[in-house]
Amino acid sequence: MAVVTTSRDGDICTVTINRPEVLNPLNTQVFIELEPVLDEIAADDSVSVVIVTGAGDKSFVAGADISEMQHMEPATAYALSTRAHRVFDKLENLPQPTIAAVNGFALGGGTEVVLSCDIRIASERAKFAAPEVGLGITPGFGGTQRLPRAIGAPRAMELMLTGRMIDAQEAADMGLVNKVVPHEALWDEVMRTAKAIAANGKSAVRLTKRAIRAGLDVDVKTGCEIEASLWALSFDEDRVARMTAFLEKRRK
């Protein structure tokens, strides 16, 4: 059975971590299967939005697979971490916007998946944590870098050094997720958001994401130079059609 599955609803693609019997933990096989899936999506111009979620009704991704890591040697651990970094970099830098549909536990590696997505929508049942230090290891799939950037260094330090679990509302208050919705309304809200994005100009959406991502780690002046270049690239035929439609409606 595949541990990573995909499905399509028009131009919206859903990627599911599919190990529900053990709450969808990340292991080497997940990364082996996920990487080519992301490569295929990146090359597929028919995909406008990507949703990432976990199979079942309890867990998004309940961390990394402890049974795989228990007797792992440092060299093997390094190889797994660098593989995870490569895969999550691909997820973060997909040309299409990504939405994390957090349907339950997002612990350790699960929080790191969430942090790699552009928009994060959580069920009220969702739980978040960076509990690695309690297992005698550090976060290893990008958490020490992405979490401080998302919620600030002091809050990230507190969560990662204590391993404290937080609920969905506290995660929203911190800025880790965009919004919290009733569990039964999660998928409707995720699809509403995905369809709202997909209704906009595809090139403009992708270039806007690219501008935001590229500008995060540079100064404002450099970021504005990046923005100007990408803004110019957005002046394509789709822009002509959309602006014409806008002006024609206004004239009526």
- Encoded tokens for 146: 């992405």
- Burial (CB < 10 A; 0-12, 13-18, 19+), residue 182, is exposed
The set of catalytic residues is 112, 132
Burial of 167 (0-12, 13-18, 19+ CB in 10 A): middle
CA separation for the pair 224, 218 (Å, rounded) = 10
The CA-CA-CA angle for residues 159, 78, 155, to 5°, reads 10
DSSP-derived secondary structure for 28-40: HHHHHHHHHHHHH
